[in-house]
């Protein structure tokens, strides 16, 4: 199938040729205008054909990469997350297909995804802070102790963590969990299906940055929120695509926060199979009390956790 970009380039070439014909037909080269236009059209057609071949070759290489990876690494994550329960928390605008692929990787590794929480953009709207702060205070339970230096969004993350997660494995979704989830859902800050059990680990799925890219500081509340999730669970991995690790993305902001990187792990290639496998390894590492920043865009700790960690946690 001819790529859509091929059609776009072809259309542009046609309009260019028509425009050249009009200009030359009215000027001193009127007698040879058709020859000039034809020569330009031939040149443009050759360029388009080269671009089409390059696109087809890139697609073929991408398919080879993914097929090779799937066959060579088959079974490498088997059992890594056995008896582990994981909650997926989706940032506003996060891609559902990427979350689906991450969930499949977790399940292939033996883990169980207990619930998927969709965060509403209103949660991080500066104009809604006056709603978030009192709600957090209303939903606090007797077993939550906020650090004295914690801020509103760190506390909000701890509140959600108490609703869907715990630091220990297989804690039930109890009355306090139901109170928290109902309160946040009623305020239209989250949506989810109530789980049977709370998770111990959390994967936060980042969204592709909007255009134009926002200032990295605009993610400060979101980073604080993920720190709160980590404080109320056994570990958090923030997963995104490469754009999310560039200026204007959540992972870029997270990796610029030294306190956050000490506790949270991140993977910036979670949109491809190898990155989804890295999310699994990062979850294993988090369960062991360690954190790392992985991927292909300014990833401090390389492409994935070390081979020793991967082999030693079954």
pLDDT tens, position by position, 61-114: 566 556 555 545 557 889 999 999 999 999 999 999 999 999 999 999 999 999
CB 132 within 8 A of CB 123: yes
Q: What is the distance between the alpha carbons of residues 261 and 247, in angstroms, rounded to a whole number?
A: 17
Q: Which helix (H) or strand (E) holds 114?
A: strand 112-119
Q: Which helix (H) or strand (E) holds 190?
A: strand 190-191
Confidence of residue 38 (pLDDT cuts 50, 70, 90): confident
Please give the pLDDT value at position 177: 97
Rounded mean pLDDT of 279-299? 96
Assess whether pLDDT exceeds 60 at residue 17.
no
Q: Give Cα separations from 286 to 101, 108, 133, 290 (angstroms).
A: 20, 18, 29, 5
pLDDT per position as a tens digit, 182-225 = 999 999 999 999 999 999 999 999 999 999 989 999 999 999 99
- Count other Cβ atoms within 10 Å, centred on residue 39: 13
* Mean pLDDT over the full length of the chain: 86
Q: Give bridge partners of residue 235 from the DSSP assignment.
A: 201
Please give the pLDDT value at position 242: 97
| Residue 205: closest CA among 52, 296, 102, 83 | 102
pTM tops 0.75: yes
Please give the pLDDT value at position 13: 46
pLDDT per position as a tens digit, 239-248 = 999 999 999 9
Confidence of residue 2 (pLDDT cuts 50, 70, 90): very low
Rounded mean pLDDT of 248-263? 97
Would you state the structure tokens that stand for residue 44, as one six-digit string? 């443009």
Q: Which of the pair, 298 or 11, is modelled with greater confidence?
A: 298
């Amino acid at each position: 199938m001819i790529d859509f970009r091929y059609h776009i380039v072809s259309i542009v070439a046609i309009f260019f040729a028509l425009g050249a014909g009009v200009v030359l037909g009215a000027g001193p080269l009127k007698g040879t205008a058709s020859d000039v236009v034809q020569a330009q059209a031939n040149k443009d057609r050759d360029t388009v054909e080269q671009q089409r071949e390059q696109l087809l070759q890139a697609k073929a290489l991408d398919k080879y990469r993914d097929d090779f990876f799937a066959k060579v690494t088959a079974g490498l994550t088997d059992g890594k997350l056995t008896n582990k329960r994981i909650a997926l928390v989706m940032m506003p605008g996060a891609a559902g297909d990427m979350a689906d692929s991450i969930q499949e990787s977790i399940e292939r590794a033996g883990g169980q995804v207990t619930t998927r929480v969709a965060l509403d953009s209103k949660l991080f709207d500066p104009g809604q802070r006056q709603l978030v702060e009192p709600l957090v205070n209303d939903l606090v339970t007797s077993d939550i102790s906020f650090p004295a230096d914690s801020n509103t969004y760190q506390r909000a993350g701890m509140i959600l963590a108490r609703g869907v997660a715990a630091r220990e494995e297989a804690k039930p979704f109890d009355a306090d969990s139901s109170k928290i989830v109902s309160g946040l859902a009623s305020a239209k800050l989250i949506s989810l299906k109530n789980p049977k059990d709370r998770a111990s680990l959390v994967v936060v799925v980042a969204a592709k940055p909007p255009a134009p890219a926002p200032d990295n500081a605009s993610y400060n509340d979101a980073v604080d929120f993920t720190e709160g999730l980590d404080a109320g669970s056994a570990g958090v991995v923030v997963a995104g695509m490469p754009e999310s690790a560039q200026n204007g993305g959540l992972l870029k902001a997270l990796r610029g926060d030294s306190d956050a990187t000490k506790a949270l792990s991140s993977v910036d290639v979670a949109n491809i199979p190898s990155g989804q496998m890295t999310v699994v390894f990062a979850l294993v590492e988090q369960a062991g009390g360690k954190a790392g920043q992985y991927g292909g865009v300014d990833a401090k700790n390389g492409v994935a956790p070390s081979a020793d960690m991967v082999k030693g946690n079954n």
